[in-house]
Amino acid sequence: MTTTLERDLSNLANVDEVVTGASPYEPLHVQPEGNPPKANVDPDTSKGWIKRMLPLVRARKGRFAFSMVCSVIALIGQVAVPRVTMAAIDRGLEARTSPISTFIYMLIGIGVVRAIFTYVYRNNLYRVAYDLEYDLRVNMYEHFSKLSFEFYDRVQSGQLISRANSDIRSVQMFLTFAPLIGLQMISFAVAFTLMMLIHVPLAIVALAPLPFVFLTGLRMRRLMFPISWMVQERMAGVATIVEENVAGARVVKSFAAEQIQVDATARAARRLEWAQNHQIKVRARYAPIMENLPRLGMAGVLLYGGILAVNGEVTIGTIVAFSIYVVMLQAPFRMLGMLMMMGQRAAASASRIYEILDTPAMVLEKPDAVDLTDPIGEVAFEGVRFGYADGPPVLDGFDLRLEPGETVALVGRTGCGKSTVARLLTRFYDVDEGVVLVDGKDVRDLTIPSLRHHVGVVLDEPFLFSSSIRDNIAYGRPDATMEEVRAAADAANAHEFIEKLADGYDSVLGERGYDLSGGQRQRIAIARTLLVNPKILVLDDATSAIDVQVEDQIHQALTHLMEDRTTLVIAHRLSTISLADRVCLIEGGKVVATGTHAELMRTEPRYSEVLAHISDEEQARRDAVTAEEAARAEALTGGDL
């Protein structure tokens, strides 16, 4: 009967056989499930926010124009109703020169036509609005994917989520309702013209209050913009706290800090409540004025029109028609307050969206960048200087060379820049000075997808998606066969525990894979990298969350697997150093000593001090892993151990 180790080695051989064909870089072709955006936001930052949105509207100008034509026809029918009613009263009821049934049929016909064209234009207009929302979301996420790690280091995820959801919805709502209200203003112009044709003085009396409505709206507009910005910003703040509470639920509970987080959420919610209440107060102060001033026109029509009717200067039908027109004209002005509120909120939201879209990516691919194909795995850092944001340099005069197939461990105190080296190799960041070379080529001269295809990274904190285990392992190669997925899982010593799950490789993981232990998550992350079969491998403390027994098994697997690839090991544990052919000690942002573990122990006292420090950290980490496993076991057994 074969031993576990022999079976692992056999499976590892299978991995090499199965994934050998994946080594040459080939762009990953994934069939898109959705349509690409038809247009992008205008990049000219000197233009107003609406003008920058116009390319999205112009991309749908046919449907938009058709809906506008249909809406105009519907509005013509709307403004024709008072005129037909006036004729029905004057000619059908008073003078009796025409049968009343004729006017009834006309009103029914107008109603049917209006219903049809209103349905058509609303349906098309809303489709345009939601298409715009779709384009904005895709544009936002595409830009998210291009932004550098430096951007995500300083921006809260809740802010991004808010801008990609509530801010886009605010813009979409305005772009939907603004044309509708604009069309109402067209009906106002047509109705006013018809009123002037009927009786000029009475028309002036009816519309006399409307200039005051406009002035009130301007005042409301000036007050609403800063408040709308504040509301959106504080909504994003609440979203950030909620997102962090959900993502960090285990940390919150482990420190019994639930009430602290509830209080923090309550404070953010109160700040949002204050801003929203202030917004409502402004609207409550000015909206009633805007809605009710037109009714003074109704009173003027009844008073002045009644006097004219008594004197025989106008007919009863004229007064009724004017009354209907005044009521009809109130609708645009009732909606004007809402439009201004929505407009200011949309302007604030658009500004927040543009802040993201106008943020340039710091790591860019050159137009003449070439693919990295069939690398031999030579890596070199020459005179590298790098610091995060405006902070001090983390690496300063850093020099390191890895020969093809060599395994090098980086050792140093916490914060010395070990993980930074890996991030520069994969171009998560660009160096401030110096150069990073792969096969003698500057990584800035290579296409980013091909570079990251050949440089596989296993991070110390594995991130798993809320999908099946099979999909998580095949994340870098969605077209991988089940045989390849199993072989990679075997190599990472994950196959055995996966098979014990209820649905095996089809088991769907919970949030970030937290329904698995730290060691299980790490092994799946290792399998995910191994399936891509990179020529250069970076292990950033990849066994930090794994117990000693499983770590030994994985080390045996990795030792065999690293034979034909260049490996950079970010060592935070003494056991990890044993994987390396050579050890480099980092201090002061540069390599201060290099050699085998035994050589450095004999000749470099600083190395011994660092190892002693690492030993203490390792023991604390092991205690934490043991506590986690014990807590999981207790949770599974209900405490009956």
- For 270-301, what is each residue's pLDDT tens digit? 888 888 888 888 878 887 877 777 778 778 88
- Please say whether the beta carbons of 445 and 439 come within 8 A: no
- Do 419 and 350 lie in one domain? The reply is no
Give the model's pLDDT for residue 16. 46
pTM above 0.85, yes or no: no
Nearest CA to 85 out of 257, 582, 94 is that of 94
Which two tokens mark 447?
């296409």
Structural domain count, the chain: 2
- The CATH number for 173's domain is 1.20.1560.10
Angle of helix 168-198 versus helix 316-357 axis, rounded to 10 = 160
- Do 474 and 386 lie in one domain? The reply is yes
Q: Reduced to 3 DSSP states, what percent helix, strand and coil does the chain have, rounded to the nearest 5?
A: 65, 10, 25
Please report the DSSP string for 163-221 in residue order: IIIIIHHHHHHHHHHHHHHHHHHHHHHHHHHHHHHH-HHHHHHHHTTHHHHHHHHHHHH
Q: 582 exposed, middle or buried (CB, 10 Å; 0-12, 13-18, 19+)?
A: middle
- Whose tokens are 């004209």? That residue is 329
Provide, rounded to the nearest whole percent, the portion of the chain with pLDDT above 90.
11
Spatial distance between the Cα atoms of 135 and 119, rounded to a whole number of angstroms: 24
Question: 39 lies in a domain?
Answer: no
Give the model's pLDDT for residue 641. 39
DSSP 8-state class, residue 35: P
Residue that wins the pLDDT comparison between 546 and 5: 546
- Do 393 and 304 lie in one domain? The reply is no
Question: 109 lies in a domain?
Answer: yes
State which of 328, 357, 386 marks the end of a domain: 357
Question: 370 lies in a domain?
Answer: no
- Do 257 and 385 lie in one domain? The reply is no
Spatial distance between the Cα atoms of 6 and 333, rounded to a whole number of angstroms: 81
Give the model's pLDDT for residue 574. 73
Question: 367 lies in a domain?
Answer: no
Spatial distance between the Cα atoms of 73 and 115, rounded to a whole number of angstroms: 11
Question: 30 lies in a domain?
Answer: no
- Do 388 and 484 lie in one domain? The reply is yes
Spatial distance between the Cα atoms of 491 and 143, rounded to a whole number of angstroms: 36
Residues 362-390, mean pLDDT to the nearest whole number: 89
Give the model's pLDDT for residue 545. 54
State which of 309, 328, 357 marks the end of a domain: 357
Please report the DSSP string for 262-308 in residue order: HHHHHHHHHHHHHHHHHHHHHHHHHHHHHHHHHHHHHHHHHHHHHHH
- The CATH number for 551's domain is 3.40.50.300
Q: Per-residue pLDDT for 361 more than 70?
A: yes
Q: Cβ contacts of residue 30 below 8 Å, gap of 6+?
A: 478
- For 505-555, what is each residue's pLDDT tens digit? 988 887 777 778 777 888 888 888 888 888 898 888 766 555 666 666 666
- Do 346 and 383 lie in one domain? The reply is no
Q: Per-residue pLDDT for 29 more than 70?
A: no
Q: Cβ contacts of residue 312 below 8 Å, gap of 6+?
A: none
266-to-241, 259, 263, 448 alpha-carbon distances in Å: 10, 10, 5, 43
Banded pLDDT at 586 (limits 50, 70, 90): very high
Residues of the domain holding 501: 4-19+376-637
Give the model's pLDDT for residue 555. 66
Which two tokens mark 208?
């006399």
Which two tokens mark 181?
């209200």
Question: 31 lies in a domain?
Answer: no
- For 447-497, what is each residue's pLDDT tens digit? 988 898 889 888 777 788 888 889 989 888 888 889 989 988 888 778 888
- Do 351 and 395 lie in one domain? The reply is no
- Do 268 and 406 lie in one domain? The reply is no
Residues 582-604, mean pLDDT to the nearest whole number: 90
- Do 149 and 236 lie in one domain? The reply is yes
DSSP 8-state class, residue 92: I
Spatial distance between the Cα atoms of 590 and 395, rounded to a whole number of angstroms: 6
- Do 429 and 491 lie in one domain? The reply is yes
- Please say whether the beta carbons of 59 and 38 come within 8 A: yes
Question: 33 lies in a domain?
Answer: no
- Do 335 and 400 lie in one domain? The reply is no
- Do 381 and 435 lie in one domain? The reply is yes
State which of 288, 322, 357 marks the end of a domain: 357
- For 392-402, what is each residue's pLDDT tens digit? 899 999 999 99
Element containing residue 597 per DSSP (H, E): helix 597-603
Question: 368 lies in a domain?
Answer: no
